[in-house]
Amino acid sequence: MHLKNELRLKSLLKGISWRLVGTVDTLFIAYIITGDTIKSLSIGGVEVFTKILLFYIHERAWSKVSEKYWNKAKKIFSFAQPKNNIINSDEWLVNRSMREQKNNHSGCVIWLTGLSGAGKTTIARYLEQKLFGDGYAVKILDGDNLRSGLNADLGFSEEDRKENIRRTAELAKAFVDTGFITIVSLITPKESFRELAKQIIGEKDFHLIYIDASLEECERRDVKGLYAKARRGEIKDFTGISARNTFEKPIDSKLILNTQETNVNACVFELYSFINTVSTFSGLPDSNFHK
């Protein structure tokens, strides 16, 4: 039976069943008032048909109310419902601005992207050491470490890789809201993944840094032995080796650090200098960045 016809039949049956109950009640009340059985049955007999018809019309009228107007009605009467308990970060008693003032610097995310073995983790560690030594609140979020904890339930399918980025970006945003310089070291192979991270963190706080090294150079280094395992088929869907997981070079990175042509110390210094020039850090004391 067509769904619309089923709904109409259901409305009709509901009307009949309800009116049978209502009619018994009407007969009882009519008899109490009139004391006449014949009159009571007459009143009940007429009432049962008129009320069934009215109920059916009423029910069908409500079914015509569109979802659009129903949602508007719900909003109008939602004042009695509990309010959304999500509090904007600016409304906390201790907010981001207060934390940054105490830290004496602004928070931001330095998102390092590049192939495995390009030098992301090494640069992140040396940069963290330098910033921490100069008194800055700084934290590294490393892809390998996150996959052994927070993201341990994720694999390397397209969906899982995207979820890995989403969770990491949400965590990075939480650190930024506490005024931290947050360094993310994550392959982030697709442009859509990087865009997702930027949307979550916010364009003002998100700074994409491309750690550039050719596939051949990364495979030559193979510091973790991952490329060799991928070549032997022990690791599936490995970025750069699997045809389904190629690395898309960033189109809008703030800085490109070529680790084939530049040593680690020079890369760290260049990134350190970049942090001092981005608008997010305009209020930082320059002396701390030029020691």
pLDDT digits (tens, 9 = 90+) for 141-165: 999 899 889 999 998 888 999 999 9
Q: Is 225 annotated as a binding residue?
A: no
pLDDT band at 290 (very low <50, low <70, confident <90, very high): very low
Mean pLDDT of the chain: 81
Q: Is 118 annotated as a binding residue?
A: yes
State phi, psi for 196 to the nearest 5 degrees.
-60, -45
Beta-carbon contacts of residue 14 (< 8 Å; ≥ 6 apart): 55, 59
Average pLDDT over residues 229-238: 82
Average pLDDT over residues 216-239: 85
Q: Is 230 annotated as a binding residue?
A: no
Q: Is 116 annotated as a binding residue?
A: yes
Q: Which of 195, 197, 207 is nearest to 167 (CA)?
A: 197
Q: Which of 275, 270, 253 is nearest to 197 (CA)?
A: 253
Q: Is 119 annotated as a binding residue?
A: yes
Lowest mean pLDDT among 26-30, 58-62, 68-72: 68-72
- CA gap 290, 278 in Å, rounded: 15
pLDDT band at 285 (very low <50, low <70, confident <90, very high): very low
As a CATH number, domain 92-284 is 3.40.50.300
Q: What is the pLDDT of residue 4?
A: 54
Q: What stretch of H or E contains 210?
A: strand 206-212
Q: Is 149 annotated as a binding residue?
A: no
- CA gap 197, 47 in Å, rounded: 66
- How far is CA 7 from each of CA 3, 10, 49, 56, 191, rounded to the nearest angstrom? 6, 5, 20, 11, 48
Q: What is the pLDDT of residue 208?
A: 97
* Residue range(s) in the chain whose domain bears CATH number 3.40.50.300: 92-284
**Cα(first)–Cα(last) distance of the chain, in Å?**
80
What is the Cα gyration radius of the chain?
33
pLDDT at residue 261 above 70?
Answer: yes
State phi, psi for 35 to the nearest 5 degrees.
70, 15
- Residue 230, SS3 per DSSP: helix
Q: What is the pLDDT of residue 19?
A: 66
- CA gap 23, 235 in Å, rounded: 74
Q: What is the pLDDT of residue 48?
A: 67
